[in-house]
Amino acid sequence: MQENPPIPAKDPAPTGTQTLLRGLGVVQAVASGARDLKEIARRIGTTRSTTHRLASCLVDERYLRVVPQVGYLLGPKLIELGFQAREELPLVTLAMPYLDELSALTGDTIHLAIREYDDVLYLHKNPGRNGPEMRSRVGHRMPLARTGIGKALLLDDSQEEWQRLYQASLPVGGKNLHWPQHPEQSWEQFEQRMREYVAGGYAFDLEDNEPSIRCVAAPVRDASRRIVAGISIASTVPYMPLEKMAELIPVVKQVAARLSAELGAKA
């Protein structure tokens, strides 16, 4: 008499830490583009039955959703938690270790700022050890088009917006009250520099706002890749020659990218 074939063992229900990690794996797989159970199972290394149980639970709890003809997508609960996480950890608190790192590395003045209407609004300042104190301060505002950090905040904007802000930033009477003898750059010069900054992912202040003040800045992005803040390294001309500015471009960009990652931006 032929023996009955062995009955395949059912995949045991995952428990405890293993369940948690597998559930997170399902969410990450869907976030990476997996749309059906077969692909999710392949990515996290589980059987189809285990994957189905995990995915069904996540759908029930609104961490995932199922869309006909599309498959699994991230669910509304993750959107709620994402906004809550962003609100619970203010930008300045999140940025502080990165600003302190730049300060210790360079000895220069470090700024964190955001855009507010047509101005830069400074949220944090680490005073530098090099040269005299700058007049920037927390809560201080400057025209976007006149500062390096402001230009970094404008890298995604249109040419029309650049021109509007350039015109708005021009001093009354065509002369800078802080530096009357300083010639104003033309719109054509401003536009050319902005295009170079867009291509490089950084921005400079070449004494555009204050005499002898230069800075190197980079944008900070959130999970939507939208520019939400800027970081700058600033000092006076003797401590900020053009050669040093070029060397600081990858430094400030790398720190801005790490802070962006904290806000959910992908590289």
Q: Quick: pLDDT tens for 213-241.
A: 899 999 999 988 999 999 999 999 999 99
**pLDDT range class, residue 2, cuts 50, 70, 90:** very low
Q: What is the b/e burial string over 121-146, where b = at least 16 CB atoms within 10 angstroms of the residue's CB? A: bbbbbbebeebeebebeeeeebbbbb
Distance CA 120, CA 111 (A): 11
**pLDDT range class, residue 130, cuts 50, 70, 90:** confident
Which range among 27-36, 76-85, 121-130, 195-204 shows the weakest confidence by mean pLDDT?
76-85
**pLDDT range class, residue 83, cuts 50, 70, 90:** confident
pLDDT at 7: 41
User: pLDDT tens for residues 84-104?
Assistant: 766 666 888 889 999 999 999
User: pLDDT tens for residues 172-186?
Assistant: 655 554 555 566 788
**pLDDT range class, residue 3, cuts 50, 70, 90:** very low
Tokens, residue 174: 């065509």
Residue 124 scores a pLDDT above 60: yes
Site of tokens 């003797």: 238
pLDDT at 87: 64
Residue 106 scores a pLDDT above 70: yes
**pLDDT range class, residue 6, cuts 50, 70, 90:** very low
The mean pLDDT of 23-52, rounded to a whole number, is 92
**pLDDT range class, residue 26, cuts 50, 70, 90:** very high
Torsional class of 196: left (φ above 0), alpha (ψ -120 to 50), beta (otherwise):
alpha
Distance CA 55, CA 71 (A): 11
**pLDDT range class, residue 5, cuts 50, 70, 90:** very low
* 91 DSSP β-pair partners: none
**pLDDT range class, residue 15, cuts 50, 70, 90:** low
**pLDDT range class, residue 8, cuts 50, 70, 90:** very low
Tokens, residue 62: 């609104």
DSSP assignment, residue 173?
A: G
Distance CA 142, CA 213 (A): 14
The closest alpha carbon to 72, from 55, 50, 47, belongs to: 55
Computed over every residue of the chain, the mean pLDDT equals: 86
The closest alpha carbon to 195, from 157, 229, 232, 233, belongs to: 157
The mean pLDDT of 110-129, rounded to a whole number, is 91
* 208 within 8 A of 179, measured Cβ to Cβ: no
At 66, the amino acid letter reads V
pLDDT at 183: 67
